[in-house]
A and B are shown apart, each in its own frame.
Chain A
Amino acid sequence: MNFIGLVAAVATFFSIWFGHVAVRKVEFISPTIWMPTVIFAIAGITLEWFSLSTSNFLLSAAFGILGITLLWDALEFTRQQNRIKKGHSPANPQNPRHARLMREYPAVTNLDLLKRDPLGKPVSPSEAIKLIH
């Protein structure tokens, strides 16, 4: 049995899952974008350093995958803010940065339009709002 594929799979799945949830939650509450971006970039670079330094291939794979994913997540904070501007992700009125976006961009909303099951047909913007209530 060769466990490198399983380790790579677990590292990939949990890295994506962690990034998916963390980027949304952190961007939701963080007053700035640059702070989480810098923290995730430093964490990613550190993990890549670990990955390069170890002679164990299982550890090198896990650190390598998690590190690169965290570096991508660092960029995702900006992309997530762009989703907020377009109203594709819910804004947090308690976050001063989001409150500002709410004033500057008419599409910003605090509704999560994705929180429902698919219907199988296109819906109008007003229907899309009704469907989540």
Chain B
Amino acid sequence: MNFFGFALGIATLLIIGLGFVWVIRGERYFGYLWWPYVMGLGILLIAASLFVNNLWSSALLGVIGASLAWGSTELKEQAVRAEIGWYPFHEKKILPPLAKSIKKWKAPHL
């Protein structure tokens, strides 16, 4: 019996669960325009996992990176949910660098 995958699956479930929290909170206080930075950080963590020799450290870096990349595609929809009133709306947001240019890009949604 190899419990690695099962344990990693449970860890992944918890990391995805955290994703719900940071997408909701992050969008509320920082806004959805951070999505390219979040996606970039996710891809960077996945790339870094290639150079980590330890099994668990590399696997968890990959899962966290993928969860960040996915969450980045959820931010735009979360912004709309807050505007409709399904989640608390926070007017003053801490915008990312180059927010004006990012606004012209089509935010990904899968």
Q: Which residues of A contact B (CB under 8 A)?
A: 1-13, 15-17, 20-21, 48, 51-55, 57, 59-69, 72, 88, 113-114, 116-123, 125, 128
Q: Verify B49–A64 contact, CB threshold 8 A.
A: no
- B62 near A8 (CB under 8 angstroms)? yes
By DSSP majority rule, is chain A's interface helix, strand, loop, or mixed? helix
* A4 pairs with B58, CB closer than 8 A: yes
Is B40 part of the binding interface, using a Cβ–Cβ cutoff of 8 Å? no
**Contact partners of A72 in chain B: CB under 8 A:** 13, 16
A69 touches B80 (CB 8 A): no
Indicate which residue in B62, B79, B84, B89 contacts A12 across the interface (CB closer than 8 Å).
B62
Interface string of B77-100 (1 = CB under 8 A from A): 101111111100101000000000
Q: Which of B55-110 contact A (CB under 8 A)?
A: 55, 58-63, 65-67, 69-70, 76-77, 79-86, 89, 91, 107, 110
Give bound CA distance, A7 to B60, whole Å: 11
Asked whether A9 lies within 8 Å of B65 as measured between CB atoms, the reply is yes
Q: Is the CB of B16 within 8 A of A119?
A: no
Q: Which residue of B lies closest to A17 (CB)?
A: B110
